[in-house]
Chain A
Amino acid sequence: EAQVTQNPRYLITVTGKKLTVTCSQNMNHEYMSWYRQDPGLGLRQIYYSMNVEVTDKGDVPEGYKVSRKEKRNFPLILESPSPNQTSLYFCASSPLRGLSSYNSPLHFGNGTRLTVT
């Protein structure tokens, strides 16, 4: 089954303790992206990647890191989490067709609910 898998689904941690949220897709998609969803603010893009070893900042990259060493995986790393990073996080992927991914729908994972105390 084609899917985007995030782990864990729920995570409670303390300020400053490094954590990684994993994202894996089995559709051989080039494009992957991370979003956070907050009440009243909607979904905001954190980072995205066009292909292996190619990453770029979204609208809210501060406090986050990503890596794309393999095509299928795009982990989100919080080196020193803070309470303002408490949120619902989504990973998404889509194919790149030719020179453009612009006309390819995004596939989303089921989300990771992170609480930082």
Chain B
Amino acid sequence: KQEVTQIPAALSVPEGENLVLNCSFTDSAIYNLQWFRQDPGKGLTSLLLIQSSQREQTSGRLNASLDKSSGRSTLYIAASQPGDSATYLCAVRGGLTQGGSEKLVFGKGTKLTVNP
């Protein structure tokens, strides 16, 4: 059974700092990995999607990397701002342990606080 772990569970940083969020998964035979942002009381907003054949994706101050063989992904946030405060979740799609199905398995998220 695919398991997705995010470390740390919570992170507090001063404004302007560069930071890295981590995501690991147990079944490396995934189809893609997606990073989401969730604001309190809101739904999830897709930030970046990395296909299984890709190593990284970039959007503005965000950069996500994927190392399938080691079962790891990182989300790098450059020059963090208070508006980046939210919970960040990663999710993996597919995998041999799921029979290649459409199931999406989420990590429990990292709650980020960027202090002014």
Contacts and interface: CB of A to CB of B under 8 A. Distances in A.
A43 interface: yes
B2 to A, nearest CB: 10
B102 A56 contact: yes
A106 B104 contact: yes
Interface string B89-116: 1010110000001111111110000000
B104 A45 contact: yes
B44 A108 contact: yes
Interface string B26-54: 00000110101000011111100101100
A73 interface: no
Query: From DSSP, what is the main secondary structure of chain A's interface residues?
Result: strand
A33 B104 contact: yes
A100 interface: yes
Contacts of A31: 102
Q: How large is the interface on A (under 10, 10 to 19, 20 to 34, 35 or more residues)?
A: 20 to 34
A43 B31 contact: no
Listed residue (A44, A45, A109) with the most chain B CB atoms within 10 angstroms of its CB:
A45
Given A31-B102, A59-B103, A108 B45 contact: yes
Nearest to A41: B108
Interface string B56-92: 0000000000000000000000000000000001010
A57 B73 CA distance: 27
Contacts of B42: 110-111
A105 B43 contact: no
Given A33-B102, A101-B102, A103-B32, 10 more contacts: A44-B106, A45-B104, A56-B102, A92-B44, A102-B52, A102-B94, A108-B43, A108-B45, A109-B43, A111-B43
Interface of B: 31-32, 34, 36, 41-46, 49, 51-52, 89, 91, 93-94, 101-109
